[in-house]
A and B are shown apart, each in its own frame.
Chain A
Amino acid sequence: MTGLTIHELGAAYRRGETTPTQVVAAYLARIERLDARVGAYLTVTREAALRAAAAADARHRAGTPLGPLDGVPLAVKDVLCTRGVRTTCGSKILERFVPPYDATAVERLAAAGAVLLGKTNMDEFAMGSSTEHSAFRPTKNPWDLARVPGGSSGGSAAAVAGDLAAGAFGTDTGGSVRQPAAFCGVVGLKPTYGRVSRYGLVAFASSLDQIGPLGQDVRDAALLLGAVAGHDPRDATSVDAPVPDYAAALDGGVRGLRVGVPREYFIEGMDPEVGRAVREAVETLRGLGATVEDVSLPTTDYGIAVYYVIAPAEASSNLARYDGVKYGLRVGGAKDLIEMSSRTRAAGFGAEVKRRIMLGTYALSAGYHDAYYGRAQKVRTLVRRDFARAFERVDLLVGPTTPNVAFRLGEKEDPLAMYLNDVFTVPTSLAGLPAVSVRCGFSAAGLPIGLQLIGRAFDEPTILRAAHAYERATSWLARRPSLA
């Protein structure tokens, strides 16, 4: 009963072969049996899930389902506010925070009939690439429990890969949906900045954060995106543009599409197995009728440096709100307000969050603002120009999602080594462009490899169409992790 894609599940419901309650109960049982080993969830919303499933049963019985997600069990990263359900952001400082409202994305999923199974583990405040920075516990990669699932949306990616949810949502600021999708061998999409409302998404870096789906295949990702995309007056940065039918746009193939391969995305020091798998994927697209061109994105190398100024700067401002006054942890016994906040933040934040707050505060402080933040914003313009130039010649870009496959827990202790994992995902985030990661092979050790397809702003249909054509032409999805 678990392991069906969302579109297969929808078909099974329509034919009356199974019911949302049966499927949701099967997922809950599987979570109960296996999640102690995987650690994908921080909170499982069992009772509410069964109630929502019963309501979906009734709609399906009456022949009036709300759409393709009605009765589909999903997991949501614990950085999206859920009314009445604890939302921790993977942090001690919000360990007991219960939001009084739903994020817009959560509200839209509920309106589409989706069933929330629970909230998934993550690097604290979405800062990290391994989910080891969760204040509660690390998540393990279902393909090899000694390895990380990636991050920061590691819980969501592991939930989908381990059949602990039919689909999931994460958030991506510099690669936090795509990198775990690559490490866990699922499909992960970062939409164009502004495509999905950030209302109720606990802010990390507001000019970069986007909510994105993780699915078992490209069609599932398209269905999930369609349910949450669109303008929301409660997020002034959400763009008022029509939402295409992403699932309907999947067919048509890649014949005539111009695919650019950025030469800077094949670097010294990257895993040769990753490079080989990605080059083979490019050949597959060529074989399907796409034309392939070499392109150059010369500022790629500077992306991480730009990102680690801008994201911490925005984070230092966004996280100022955790001062122990209105919600979250408070450390008592302080003599004044400043001491109370300083002690609360010292006790409530983990090492990575403190590091980024410090870095961001430094980059914005008097005397350093122009040298760091000002300069990083200008280089961000150069990164955008790289993409704009490339997209004059090609319709999409294709390259690796990450330079390596999933690494071992504890392997990257040096913060900078961890940051460099995002070298191919960060530039797209800086430019606000959509990008999707799909499985394109396995390492000799049996770990999935991710292919990244990058599109023009708001051109999710083209990257999804190409990803779908690639997925249909290959058989990588047949392999599944053996969690039991």
Chain B
Amino acid sequence: MISRDDVVQVARLARLELSEAELERMRRQLDGILAYIDQLKALDVAGVEPTSHAVPLTNVMREDEAAPCWPQEEMLANAPDRAGELFRVPRIIED
């Protein structure tokens, strides 16, 4: 069973601020879904290779050629906050 502390820890890893009410609801719902997922434990998967991808493609190569990149102004146009040519975020280093 997933605990409240687990949910707090996972929310921190996932960068999601959850209210008290959301935490408990999330715990209950995750618990139900994980209990359902636990049926996978009934299967014998010894020696079975994992599938990460349905089409067998590996190491798709291309020529290393210079190509134009997107204009800076267009890439900045959706920024929630900017300073000149930069994305602006809250201070992350103390003075």
Using a CB–CB cutoff of 8 Å, the interface residues on chain A facing chain B are 96-98, 100-101, 192-194, 207-208, 233, 236-237, 239, 299, 301-302, 304-306, 308-309, 316, 320, 323-330, 334-343, 345-346, 349, 354-355, 357-359, 361-362, 365, 371-372, 374-382, 384, 414-416, 419, 430-433, 457
Taking the closest CB of chain A, its distance from the CB of B49, in whole angstroms, is 6
In the bound assembly, the distance between CA atoms of A419 and B17 in angstroms comes to 25
In the complex, are the beta carbons of B45 and A346 less than 8 A apart? no
Interface residue B40 (Cβ < 8 Å from any Cβ of A): yes
Q: Which residues of B contact A362 (CB under 8 A)?
A: 2, 6, 10, 30, 34
Q: Mark B70-95, 1 if CB is under 8 A from A, else 0.
A: 11001101111100000101111000
A341 neighbours in B (Cβ, 8 Å): 15
A375 touches B11 (CB 8 A): no
Q: Is the CB of A359 within 8 A of B33?
A: yes
For the A-B complex, the count of residue pairs with Cβ-Cβ distances under 8 Å equals: 169
* Assembly CA distance A194 to B78 (angstroms): 30
Q: How distant is the Cα of A327 from the Cα of B52 in the complex, in angstroms?
A: 29
* Chain A residues, CB < 8 A from B10: 358, 361-362, 365
Contact of A380 among B22, B32, B51 (CB under 8 A): B51
Inter-chain CA distance A413–B33, complex, in Å, is 14
- Are A330 and B15 within 8 A (Cβ)? no
Q: Which of B13, B22, B40 contacts A306 (CB 8 A)?
A: B40
Chain B contacts for A358, CB-based, 8 A: 7, 10-11, 14, 16, 26, 30
Contact A100 B14, beta carbon cutoff 8 Å = no
Asked if B36 and A305 sit within 8 Å, CB to CB, the answer is yes
List residues 8-66 of chain B with CB under 8 A from any CB of chain A: 9-11, 13-18, 22, 26, 29-30, 32-34, 36-37, 39-41, 43, 45, 48-55, 57, 60, 62
The chain B residue sitting closest to A356, CB to CB, is B33
Docked pose: A335 CA to B94 CA in angstroms: 12
A316 touches B14 (CB 8 A): yes
| Bound complex: CA A444 to CA B35 (Å) | 36
Inter-subunit contact B37/A237 (CB<8 Å): no
Q: Which residue, of B15, B75, B90, has the highest number of chain A Cβ atoms within 10 A?
A: B15
- Closest A residue to B27 by beta carbon equals A358
- Among residues of B, the one whose C-beta sits closest to the C-beta of A373 is B50
- Determine the distance from Cα of A54 to Cα of B43 in the docked complex, in whole angstroms: 59
For chain B, the count of residues having a C-beta within 8 Å of the partner chain is 51
State how many angstroms separate the Cβ of A202 from the closest Cβ of chain B: 13
Q: Is the CB of A374 within 8 A of B6?
A: no
Query: B45, B71, B81: which has the most chain A beta carbons within 10 Å?
Result: B45
Would you call B33 and A330 a contact (CB within 8 A)?
A: no
A-B CB contact pairs (8 Å), 17 listed: A207-B54, A208-B54, A237-B53, A237-B57, A239-B57, A305-B36, A305-B40, A328-B80, A343-B17, A355-B26, A357-B16, A358-B14, A358-B30, A377-B52, A382-B43, A416-B32, A431-B54
Q: How far is the CB of A310 from chain B (nearest CB, A)?
A: 9
A378 B49 Cβ-Cβ under 8 A = yes
B30, B37, B70 — which one has the most chain A CB atoms within 10 A of its CB?
B37
Using A101-B70, A358-B26 as known contacts, say yes or no to A345 and B55 having CB atoms under 8 A apart: no
User: When the two chains form their complex, are residues B51 and A377 in contact, meaning their CB atoms are under 8 A apart?
Assistant: yes
If A346-B17, A381-B50 touch, does A193 touch B78 (CB 8 Å cutoff)?
no
Q: A-B pairs with the 7 shortest C-beta distances?
A: A432-B54, A377-B50, A330-B80, A327-B78, A378-B45, A346-B17, A100-B74
Contacts of A233 in B (CB 8 A): 62
**B32 cross-chain contacts in A, Cβ below 8 A:** 414-416
Partner of A432, one of B18, B43, B55, B79: B55
Contact of B90 among A96, A309, A340, A372 (CB under 8 A): A340
**Chain A residue at minimum C-beta to C-beta distance from B9:** A365
Given contacts A345-B17, A354-B18, 5 further A-B contacts (CB under 8 A): A98-B77, A302-B43, A342-B17, A346-B16, A378-B48
- Out of B14, B62, B87, which one reaches A361, CB within 8 Å? B14
Give the shortest distance, in Å, between A450 (CB) and chain B (any CB).
23
Q: Which residue of B lies closest to A314 (CB)?
A: B52
A325-B87, A330-B80, A330-B81 known; A430 vs B54 contact (CB < 8 Å): yes
User: In the complex, A308→B36 CA distance in Å?
Assistant: 10
Nearest-Cβ distance from residue A344 to partner chain B, whole angstroms: 8
Residue among B33, B34, B62 with most chain A CB within 10 A: B33
> Closest CB of chain A to B51's CB: distance in Å?
4
In the bound complex, what is the Cα–Cα distance between A236 and B16 (angstroms)? 31
Q: Known contacts being A330-B80, A381-B48, is A359 close to B30, with CB within 8 Å?
A: yes
* A208: chain B residues within 8 A (beta carbon): 54
